[in-house]
Amino acid sequence: MAKELSPAPLPITNRRLQKKHSFKTLKEKWQLYALILPAFLFLAIFAYGPMYGVLIAFKNYIPSLGIWGSPWVGFKYFQQFFSSYYFWDLLRNTLGIQVYELAIGFPLPIILALAINELKTGWWKKFTQTVTYAPNFISVVVMGGMLIAFLDPSTGIINHLLGVIGIKPVSFMSDPRWFKTVYVLSDVWQQTGWGSIIYLAALAGVDPALHEAAIVDGASRLQRIWHIDLPAIVPTMVILLILNVGNLFSMGYEKILLLQNPLNLSSSNVIATFVYNQGLINGEYSYAAAVGLFNSAINAILLIVVNHIARKVSDTSLW
Amino acid sequence: MHTSKLIKDTPTDRIFLFVLYIFIGLAVLIVLYPLIYIISASVSSPLAVNSGKMWLWPVGFNLDGYKVILQYGDIWRGYMMTIFYTISGTMVSLFITIPCAYAISRRDFAGKKWFTNFMLITMFLSGGLIPTYLLVRNLGMLNTVWAIIIPNAVSVYNIIVTKSFFQSTIPWEMQEAAKVDGASDFQIFFRIVLPLSAPIIAVMALFYGVGQWNDYFNSLVYLQNKNLYPLQMVLRQILVLQDMQQGSATGSTISQSAAQAAFSKEQLVAVIKYGVMIVSSLPVIMVYPLLQRYFVKGVLIGSLKG
């Protein structure tokens, strides 16, 4: 700003700035370091601390001996996990839910964004956005409560509505076959609108001149969406796809934990809930930490591989 | 949006628009219906709700559910705890996030690069649930309010969003000029940058605040003392656990009178259920439309940097 006001003495200002810089380097630097200090301490303790603590996966953790003092056991807990009868079930459930979610939950926000983008600016567009974003703010617990209430075989509204068209009551919550669908569709209900925001932003950046030219050339709306709008959001799609595929093994399990019951366990038991139950309920810390480490290791590898493929196939990648 | 008024829509376009409006209308309906149902159910007679007679508008209007909720001590204690956790947690989060984001937004900050890497690593690697739990336990935070406020106070993603805001909105020339005039970094941050940062502070307060308000998992892991439970944990007991307990109770053989008592209790729970959903979500629901553009802004700033 000062530069704009007085363009003439600019070189002097710069020289003076540099001089002061070297003069006050030490004196100035500590203040910026002081600003990052709280974040540094926080991450060092609560992000890097547990990374050290993950050592217990290779040890037989005994609280009184501490992390370092507990005896080493090598890969014992990993072997125990791989050879357990539930290993493949957990893997299948984790991947099953996530792939299901990706297949439905990934394209829907794109379609919704393309559709909203076609609406003329006005109250109806605003209303559509406000309504579809809203479920994002409903807490997991309320969502879980809603599902349990709505899907109840005798009192739930869904089964009453199904009864109207002659379908016998389904016990959605206790039937393992329904668990994944209930989980995925409720996620879609909650997240589709919110997920469309990022695509709408990319669509807002499309040059209107492209559409005008296409209209003059006689392109239909569908053709314009396909040839103009869609290419504009491809980079966003790729980034989100990388993140989604990379996170296949790090699912949010707070909702699963709420919806899980002994009857649907064969379908709802995923690696993350297994870690919770083994570690925090049964107190087998080392074993649970090993399973958790296995999970995050797969996750990191997956992310690197997917990012690599994305960089080869398209120009977009995370790093 | 498009300049389609210049040239008339072709018949295929009109069919397309028709399908489009049906699609959007359907989407709105699917989102809206459960929400309207909950509101109606919360003021209807439990019998009408459970039998399916109530399907859109209230049937047998009454406020019994809300009366019970008003006298339900646990809910109000949970409410107070949640307000406490939300305010104090958000303040801690902002205190850590904003200054750090400012420092790494400065292009002349020597430590910028390594600290950014130091942060990014934690987005991809983490110790996981169990080591984090043991850490919190070893720090003596277990079963204290600190366990809810501190260990999850910061999201690196939010720091990066805030950093992008500083880089894109606060002119670097202005800060440079202040520096030339002899301002220290603290002075630049507190006197120049912070007063211009109301939008991002609002966005971050909302993100952290709503996250804290809606969270139950940390309390599930770290708290045993029911007096410290936030609202979401109380809700979990009413909405999820009670339901399951009753599910198992009906499976066993019980005497007629006990069955009858369970029946009325079940109905009562059903009515409180919808009421508590509303009571607990009310603050967020009321705040959301007013602040929608801030939330959206937060998502958009985040998308700039990917």
Of B27, B102, B296, which is closest to A35 when you measure between CB atoms?
Answer: B102
pLDDT for residue B264:
60
pLDDT digits (tens, 9 = 90+) for B96-129: 999 999 999 988 888 888 999 999 888 878 888 9
pLDDT for residue B267:
63
pLDDT digits (tens, 9 = 90+) for B140-162: 999 999 999 999 999 998 898 89
What are the chain B neighbours of A157 within 8 Å (beta carbons)?
A: 37, 52, 55
Q: Which of residues 80-109 of A touch B (CB under 8 A)?
A: none
Question: Are A31 and B203 a contacting pair, CB within 8 Å?
Answer: no
Stated length of chain A? 319
| Pair of tokens at residue B213 | 């308000």
Q: In 3-state terms, what secondary structure has residue A201? A: helix
Of A56, A198, A261, which is closest to B131 when you measure between CB atoms?
Answer: A56
Sign for the pseudo-dihedral over CA of A283, A285, A291, A295: positive
**Is A50 in contact with B7 (Cβ distance < 8 A)?**
no
Kindly report the backbone phi and psi dihedral angles of residue A173, in degrees, each rounded to the nearest multiple of 5, phi listed first: -75, -20
pLDDT for residue B254:
40
| Pair of tokens at residue A144 | 């879980």
pLDDT digits (tens, 9 = 90+) for B252-299: 334 444 444 555 666 667 668 899 999 999 888 888 877 777 777 777
At residue A235, what is the residue type? P
Q: Taking CA atoms, what residue in A is nearest to B221?
A: A280
What are the chain B neighbours of A142 within 8 Å (beta carbons)?
A: 235, 239, 277, 280-281
Distance from CA of B257 to the nearest CA of A (A): 21
| Pair of tokens at residue A25 | 């380097």
| Pair of tokens at residue A251 | 């699912």
Interface residue A216 vs chain B (CB under 8 A): yes
pLDDT for residue B243:
45
Strand partners, A59: A72
pLDDT for residue B303:
64
pLDDT digits (tens, 9 = 90+) for B152-208: 999 998 898 899 889 888 888 888 899 889 888 899 999 999 999 888 898 899 889
Residues 6+ apart with CB under 8 A from B71: none
Please give the radius of gyration of chain B, using alpha carbons only, rounded to the nearest integer: 26
Q: Taking CA atoms, what residue in A is nearest to B184?
A: A28
Question: What is the CA A54 to chain-centroid distance, rounded?
Answer: 23
pLDDT digits (tens, 9 = 90+) for B32-63: 999 999 999 988 888 888 888 888 899 888 88
Interface residue B243 vs chain A (CB under 8 A): yes
What tens-digit pLDDT sequence spans chain A (319 residues)? 333 343 444 444 454 555 455 545 555 578 889 999 999 999 999 999 999 999 999 998 988 888 888 889 989 999 999 999 999 999 999 989 989 999 999 999 999 999 999 888 889 999 999 899 999 999 999 999 999 989 988 888 899 889 889 888 888 988 899 999 999 999 999 999 989 988 998 898 888 899 989 988 888 888 999 999 999 898 888 888 888 887 777 777 889 999 998 898 888 899 999 999 999 999 899 999 999 999 888 888 888 888 888 888 777 777 7
**How far apart, in whole angstroms, are the C-alpha atoms of residue B209 and residue B84?**
11
- The residue extents of the domains of chain A are 2-69, 76-313
- Fold (topology level) of A76-313: MetI-like fold (1.10.3720)
Of B16, B130, B270, which is closest to A289 when you measure between CB atoms?
Answer: B130
Residues 6+ apart with CB under 8 A from A198: A109, A236, A240, B299, B300, B303
Identify from B2, B38, B155 which residue to disrupt to test chain A contact, counting A C-beta atoms within 10 A and taking the largest count.
B2
pLDDT digits (tens, 9 = 90+) for B18-37: 999 999 999 999 999 999 99
pLDDT for residue A146:
92
ipTM of the complex: 0.85
pLDDT digits (tens, 9 = 90+) for B67-100: 888 888 888 999 999 999 999 999 999 999 999 9
**Is A142 in contact with B17 (Cβ distance < 8 A)?**
no
Identify from B28, B94, B130 which residue to disrupt to test chain A contact, counting A C-beta atoms within 10 A and taking the largest count.
B130
| Pair of tokens at residue A45 | 């303790």
Q: Which of residues 23-62 of B touch A (CB under 8 A)?
A: 23-24, 27-28, 30-32, 34-35, 37-38, 49-52, 55
Residue tagged 């439990």 (tokens) = B46
pLDDT for residue B262:
52
Interface residue B227 vs chain A (CB under 8 A): no
Residues 6+ apart with CB under 8 A from B4: A215, A221, B13
Q: Which of residues 153-212 of B touch A (CB under 8 A)?
A: 153-154, 156, 159, 171, 173-174, 176-177, 179-180, 184-186, 189, 210
At residue B85, what is the residue type? Y
Question: Are B119 and B159 a contacting pair, CB within 8 Å?
Answer: yes
Q: Which of residues 225-244 of A touch B (CB under 8 A)?
A: 236, 239
From residue B3, give the alpha-carbon distance in Å to each of A204, A208, B6. Answer: 14, 8, 6
- The residue extents of the domains of chain B are 1-62, 68-228+294-304
What are the chain B neighbours of A134 within 8 Å (beta carbons)?
A: 31, 35, 285, 288
Residue tagged 């912070």 (tokens) = B194
**Is A17 in contact with B118 (Cβ distance < 8 A)?**
no
CATH 2.10.70.10 fits B68-228+294-304, yes or no: no
